[in-house]
């Protein structure tokens, strides 16, 4: 295993980030933690003792005395590290190579199923539901963080400003679900089809918390007070509810590129400039949900996490695959800090010269950590959890106590993580989230054209851009 962290149950990676119990940035240490290989790299012969492989596999996935959540997250972390590749100088074991061959075979099968499904929709055997209103799909080709939520927010805000009655339809990833028995009964009795979608916000007030709605829907509902947010796996049902009960005329499909049951009017696809397509294999051997060539369906392509200077080769490749789409480059720009428990706002200059403790539970925390590190005096520790990790009160108390004992002036987390922080009666170190917006670096006219197209307005009829997001120029750095 890699170097041990400062406290029991922590692992420290090469970049200084610590991960609780089971989370390690390397295949070697993840395998060691899972009991698959010791720190020296010896194979233990237990690689396939994982969930689905008998009682010992289930116990291994959970870990002794650990919550079930940690077992799932450990397995997920291990598979992601295995898929992305070994550390420099570390050879694959025979079992790992066998597992990768199996995953590659499954990828071929998955790819065939995806392409057949698309074909059946294209020839009309599977039908798209048309709800008679504007449907804007915002999604991506890959799993993991492409920065989609801020892009959904900027579309919803601008469309609402231009006079549209907007509803965001989300699946509500990792929201609290009914028990297995109740779900099965719902399928048998058709109760799940009759049950209305979960209403996170009706455009006037918040109706659900983050556990019942999911992280992103709750965050969107909190930041968009005049936009409705609904959660359900059946987004056709959610769309009908938004139109019939809430009077909405514009629907935004959050993570909708693969959701074909609802007819899309505008297709927006996000591509992460820092890791566009992973190893270019589809799931489960890679991170692609469908082949890269399917980006040809997009009307608008957002290159996210861009610096505005070095995306030329990626733009050229995207243009070859989709000559017609408008390509827009954007980046995530920090705006301010907000205290999670008191709602107090601080300017970014507050971080200057201060010692901070960084906490994150997102797919790729490196950009967030770099931003905080660039603005503060010293990052004492970077503690990473799995994406969508639901924090317990004890975990947050441990973080606060560790930060206090190490002399931290503040704890900094992401806005998405902040909605999953439980309430504390006492907090000895202030906890802030970093508010981030999308800033368009190139293609702002294409973005305004997209908004005008949805609103059936010409350029001279559009209201000027407003709010904290600059659509015209980037902030010079």
Q: Is the pLDDT of residue 70 over 50?
A: yes
Predicted pLDDT of residue 89: 52
Closest alpha carbon to 221 in 212, 234, 230: 230
Predicted pLDDT of residue 1: 38
CA distance 148 to 282: 20
Instruction: Report, as an integer, the average pLDDT of 83-112.
Output: 84
Closest alpha carbon to 221 in 232, 210, 235, 211: 210
Predicted pLDDT of residue 30: 40
Question: Do residues 47 and 32 lie in contact, with contact meaning Cβ atoms separated by under 8 Å?
Answer: no
Higher pLDDT, 79 or 459: 79
Q: 422 — phi, psi (to 5°)?
A: -75, 160
CA distance 188 to 390: 31
CA distance 60 to 48: 10
Least confident of 71-75, 93-97, 423-427, 438-442: 71-75
Each residue of 260-314: pLDDT tens digit?
999 999 999 999 999 999 999 999 999 999 999 999 999 999 999 998 888 899 9
Each residue of 406-432: pLDDT tens digit?
999 999 999 999 999 999 989 999 999
Least confident of 192-196, 317-321, 371-375, 468-472: 468-472
Q: Is the pLDDT of residue 477 over 50?
A: no
Q: Quick one: 323 exposed, middle or buried, by C-beta within 10 A (0-12, 13-18, 19+)?
A: exposed
Query: Residue 271: beta bridge partners?
Result: 303
Question: Do residues 449 and 459 lie in contact, with contact meaning Cβ atoms separated by under 8 Å?
Answer: yes
Would you list the DSSP string of 138-200?
EEESBSS-SSHHHHHHHHHHHHHHTT--EEEEE--TT-----HHHHHHHHHHTHHHHSPPEEE
Instruction: Report, as an integer, the average pLDDT of 138-154.
Output: 92
Predicted pLDDT of residue 458: 60
> What is the set of domains in the chain, with CATH numbers?
1-127 (no CATH), 134-331+439-461 (3.40.50.300), 334-437 (3.40.50)
Least confident of 124-138, 166-180, 231-245, 360-374: 166-180
Closest alpha carbon to 253 in 137, 152, 154: 137
Predicted pLDDT of residue 86: 66
Instruction: Report, as an integer, the average pLDDT of 1-16.
Output: 49
pLDDT bucket at 49, cuts 50 / 70 / 90 = very low
The pTM score is 0.82
Higher pLDDT, 44 or 299: 299
366: DSSP letter:
H
Radius of gyration of the chain (CA): 23
Instruction: Report, as an integer, the average pLDDT of 40-62.
Output: 38
Higher pLDDT, 5 or 131: 131
Question: Do residues 368 and 392 lie in contact, with contact meaning Cβ atoms separated by under 8 Å?
Answer: no
The half-sphere exposure of 419 on its side-chain side, counting CA atoms within 13 A, is 22
CA distance 131 to 243: 8
Q: 270 — phi, psi (to 5°)?
A: -100, 140
Least confident of 5-19, 92-106, 142-156, 298-312: 5-19
Q: Number of helices and strands (H, E) in the chain?
A: 15, 15
Q: Is the pLDDT of residue 7 over 50?
A: no
Predicted pLDDT of residue 320: 97
User: What is the pLDDT of the chain when averaged over all its residues?
Assistant: 83
- Whose tokens are 């909190």? That residue is 222
Query: Residue 439: beta bridge partners?
Result: 331
Instruction: Report, as an integer, the average pLDDT of 105-116.
Output: 97
CA 18 to chain centre: 21
Q: Is the pLDDT of residue 4 over 70?
A: no
Q: Is the pLDDT of residue 122 over 70?
A: yes
Predicted pLDDT of residue 45: 36
Predicted pLDDT of residue 79: 83
Q: Quick one: 142 exposed, middle or buried, by C-beta within 10 A (0-12, 13-18, 19+)?
A: buried
Each residue of 210-229: pLDDT tens digit?
989 999 999 999 999 999 99
Predicted pLDDT of residue 213: 93
Predicted pLDDT of residue 71: 77
In 166-317, at which residue ranges do the beta strands (DSSP E only) sit? Answer: 166-170, 198-202, 228-231, 250-254, 266-272, 300-304
């Amino acid at each position: 295993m890699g170097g041990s962290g400062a406290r029991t149950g922590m692992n420290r990676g090469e970049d200084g980030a610590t991960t609780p119990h089971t989370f390690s940035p390397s295949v070697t240490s993840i395998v060691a933690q899972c009991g698959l290989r010791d720190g020296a790299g010896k194979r233990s012969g237990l690689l396939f003792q994982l969930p689905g492989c008998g009682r010992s596999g289930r116990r291994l996935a959970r870990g002794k005395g650990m919550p079930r959540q940690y077992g799932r997250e450990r397995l997920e972390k291990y598979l992601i590290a295995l898929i992305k590749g070994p550390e420099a100088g570390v050879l694959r074991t025979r079992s790992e190579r066998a597992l990768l061959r199996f995953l590659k075979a499954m990828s071929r099968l998955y790819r065939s199923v995806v392409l057949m499904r698309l074909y059946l929709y294209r020839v009309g055997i599977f039908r798209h539901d048309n709800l008679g209103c504007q449907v804007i799909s915002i999604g991506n080709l890959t799993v993991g963080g492409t920065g989609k939520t801020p892009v959904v927010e900027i579309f919803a805000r601008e469309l609402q400003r231009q006079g549209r009655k907007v509803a965001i339809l989300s699946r509500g990833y990792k929201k609290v679900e009914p028990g297995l028995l109740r779900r099965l009964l719902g399928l048998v009795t058709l109760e799940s089809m009759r049950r209305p979608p979960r209403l996170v916000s009706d455009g006037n007030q918040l109706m659900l918390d983050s556990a019942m709605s999911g992280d992103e829907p709750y965050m969107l509902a909190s930041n968009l007070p005049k936009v409705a947010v609904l959660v359900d796996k059946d987004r056709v049902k959610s769309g009908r509810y938004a139109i019939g009960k809430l009077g909405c005329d514009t629907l935004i499909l959050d993570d909708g590129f693969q959701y074909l049951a609802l007819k899309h009017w505008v297709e927006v696809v996000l591509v992460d400039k820092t890791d566009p397509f992973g190893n270019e294999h589809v799931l489960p051997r890679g991170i692609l949900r469908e082949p890269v060539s399917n980006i040809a369906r997009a009307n608008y392509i957002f290159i996210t996490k861009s610096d505005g200077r070095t995306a030329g080769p990626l733009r050229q490749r995207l243009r070859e695959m989709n000559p017609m789409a408008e390509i827009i480059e954007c980046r995530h720009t920090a705006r301010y800090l907000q205290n999670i428990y008191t709602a107090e706002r601080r300017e970014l200059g507050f971080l200057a010269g201060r010692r901070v403790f960084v906490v994150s539970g997102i797919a790729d925390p490196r950009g967030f950590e770099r931003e905080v590190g660039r603005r503060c005096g010293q990052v004492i520790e970077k503690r990473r959890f799995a994406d969508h990790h639901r924090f317990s009160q004890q975990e947050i108390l441990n973080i606060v106590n560790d930060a206090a004992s190490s002399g931290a002036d503040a704890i900094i987390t992401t806005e998405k993580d902040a909605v999953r922080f439980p309430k504390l009666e006492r907090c000895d170190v202030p906890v802030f989230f970093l508010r981030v917006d999308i800033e368009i670096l190139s293609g702002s006219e294409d973005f305004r054209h997209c908004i005008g197209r949805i609103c059936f307005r010409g350029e001279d009829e559009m209201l000027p851009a407003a709010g904290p997001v600059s659509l015209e120029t980037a902030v010079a750095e």
